[in-house]
Amino acid sequence: MDDLSVDVEPASVCGLLGPNGAGKSTTFKCLLGLARATSGSVTIEGAPLQPGTFDYLAYVPEKSALYEWMTVEQHLEMARRAYRKYDAARARELLATFKLPPKKLVRRLSKGQHTALALVLAFAIRPRVLVLDEPASGLDPIFQRTVLDLIIDAAAGGAGVLFSSHQIGQVERAADRIAVLREGKLVLAGDIDTLKGDEKIVIAAFDALVPEMPELAHDPNVRRIERGGRIVRLYTDGESERIAGRVAALQPRSLDVVDLTLEDIFLGAVGEDGAAPPIGVES
């Protein structure tokens, strides 16, 4: 990791995005003292990381660290003894939500059930800080939505949540902020609505290959042009209707102006192959 700075405020959700190997899991380990950073610092609620921090911080790694020889309910009992704010009623409610059998040994649980149990334990202590590494991994679509609802609910209750996901749609649904990593560096961070701003995408389809458009490539309001066969996408940071008018003069078969999505923002930051595309030139 290099020159990484991320703030997660109370009552907010920050989604950590990046290609495989970008450093998301390493970031979590450094935040929690599981890996030693060569420089820099981590503060939680204004104080350095210390043993007492884990009374109100919950971490769910991508590979859950559960005890294979224990049952589901034995894990709940262990959490009850370890955490002063453990909420037994909440734990039972979540157990039923995820349909986890209390008497079942962990080694007999499916991958998705492993993840679900780790999440039950995390949310049952009603933490003020939640760090979740791919929390919906291995879950079916219904339970994935349940996890996102739990994240949103935790933030609504005042918790600060930092979570990673390869599913950009999950981040867009639950997060209000994002941080994007590429090769261990922070390449983009901010409020999602602010990052979207007034940007639009002009999408045109032609009957033949996309014609050359050198003037548009250097237009100050065109951030990036993506050409693929008969389709062209022009990412604009203003005056999208003017840009669309200039594209219309090239007589495309169809022409649309659409809002920027979080996926567009992510790909603009890391590029299709993990390398950010140049701004204002064709790719």
- Domains parsed from the chain with CATH numbers: 12-194 (3.40.50.300), 198-259 (3.30.70.100)
Per-residue pLDDT of the chain in tens (283 residues, 90 and over written 9): 677 788 899 999 999 999 988 989 988 888 888 887 778 788 887 888 777 777 889 999 988 889 999 999 999 999 999 999 999 999 999 999 999 999 999 999 999 999 999 999 999 999 999 999 999 988 999 999 999 999 999 999 999 999 999 899 999 999 999 999 998 899 999 999 999 888 899 999 999 888 888 899 999 999 889 988 899 999 998 899 999 999 999 999 999 999 989 998 998 888 765 444 433 333 3
Residue 140: CA count within 13 A, CB half-sphere? 5
Task: Please say whether the beta carbons of 22 and 1 come within 8 A.
Answer: no
Q: Which amino acid is at 54?
A: F
Q: Name the pTM for this structure.
A: 0.84
Cα dihedral: 171, 64, 21, 165 (round 10):
-10
> How far is the C-alpha of 114 from the C-alpha of 65, rounded, in Å?
9
Chain position carrying tokens 């997060």 = 175
The stretches of 22-71 forming alpha helices (DSSP H) are 24-31
